[in-house]
Amino acid sequence: MKIELLNIPKEELLDRLKAIQKLGWVHTNRSKNDGSVGNTLEDLLEIPENNLGIANTVDWELKAQRKKTSSMITLFHIDPHPRKPESVVSKVLLPYYGWQHKEAGKKHPANEMSFRATINGKSYMDRGFKLKVESVKRTIDIIYDPKETGARHIEWKGKVLDYHGNEEQVIAYWNFDELQTKCVGKIRNTIYVVADSRTVNGQEEFKYEKIELLEDFAFNNLLRGLIGGDILIDFDARTGHNHGTKFRIKQNNWPVLFSKITEI
């Protein structure tokens, strides 16, 4: 669905956010989930929800999060290569490296498979997956190493080896140029808003307390964040449905990406 973006100058957008700060507690009719704090803020700003790979305004991406949360912040969505003729997530990762969904035979059919994994570049997850930044090839690779698979996954590993073999291999990747373009379009300059939350008569309310301008993004910072484990990649796919691959960062880790952070 195409969404018309509002060309709001930074100064006007900040004035609107400051006015929302002064409102105090704001009732929301949104469902209680990770996205409701941002959806409610967009409602108050009268900005359409943005599902495109470009910023909410011409120069600034707007992100919001609850103050008391362990949830990570999604920077952007982008599936790895290869994508043709079908996405590697649905064509390879799910059928050959996936495992039985925890709701298989209950909420989902008995043969429902899952590939839900959080992968970083610092350490192997217990199923043997890891990110590897290859500066010469200019790619960010997902590798699988059977030797790094935990003992509790021995049965699953046996099935994977039939397809993968016994050696470490690259199973998917992103290229630098594509990711850099994505970052420039989506997070180069970001306005980050933090809200307190409470529930009154069964309905959530927000109080938007802190506004930060995040500037001077550098692509090398993203690469260093991936190598150091500060930026993570989340896969969330199951049989017949891929929720998308997310590049994510923990709350208060913005200095990993931006060299200039200003609280308004």
| Interval 51-67 mean pLDDT | 67
* 15-28 pLDDT per residue, tens: 999 999 999 999 98
Greater model confidence, 223 or 7: 223
Nearest Cα to Cα of residue 181 among 263, 76, 35: 76
| Interval 182-196 mean pLDDT | 88
Q: Are 68 and 195 in contact (CB under 8 A)?
A: no
Residues sharing a CB contact under 8 Å with residue 101, sequence separation 6 or more, in sequence order: 108, 112, 113, 114, 238, 239
* 226-260 pLDDT per residue, tens: 999 999 999 999 997 888 899 999 888 999 999 99
The confidence score (pLDDT) of residue 4 equals: 33
Does 85 have pLDDT greater than 90?
Answer: no
| Interval 60-66 mean pLDDT | 86
Angle at 233 between CA 192 and CA 3, to 5 degrees: 55
Instruction: Round to whole Å and give the CA distance between 49 and 40.
Output: 10
The confidence score (pLDDT) of residue 5 equals: 40
The confidence score (pLDDT) of residue 179 equals: 94
Does 56 have pLDDT greater than 90?
Answer: no
Distances (CA, A) of 158 to 13, 58, 116, 143, 147: 55, 50, 19, 17, 12
Nearest Cα to Cα of residue 191 among 37, 77, 57, 74: 57
* 100-120 pLDDT per residue, tens: 888 777 888 788 889 999 999
Tell me the average pLDDT of the chain: 87
Greater model confidence, 225 or 47: 225
| Interval 179-194 mean pLDDT | 88
Greater model confidence, 82 or 49: 82
**pLDDT confidence bin for 54, thresholds 50/70/90:** very low
| Interval 137-152 mean pLDDT | 96
**What phi and psi values does residue 255 have, to the nearest 5 degrees?**
-60, -20
| Interval 60-86 mean pLDDT | 87
**pLDDT confidence bin for 45, thresholds 50/70/90:** confident
The token duo for 177 is: 């140029």
Centre a 10 Å sphere on the Cβ of residue 174 and count the other Cβ atoms it contains. 22
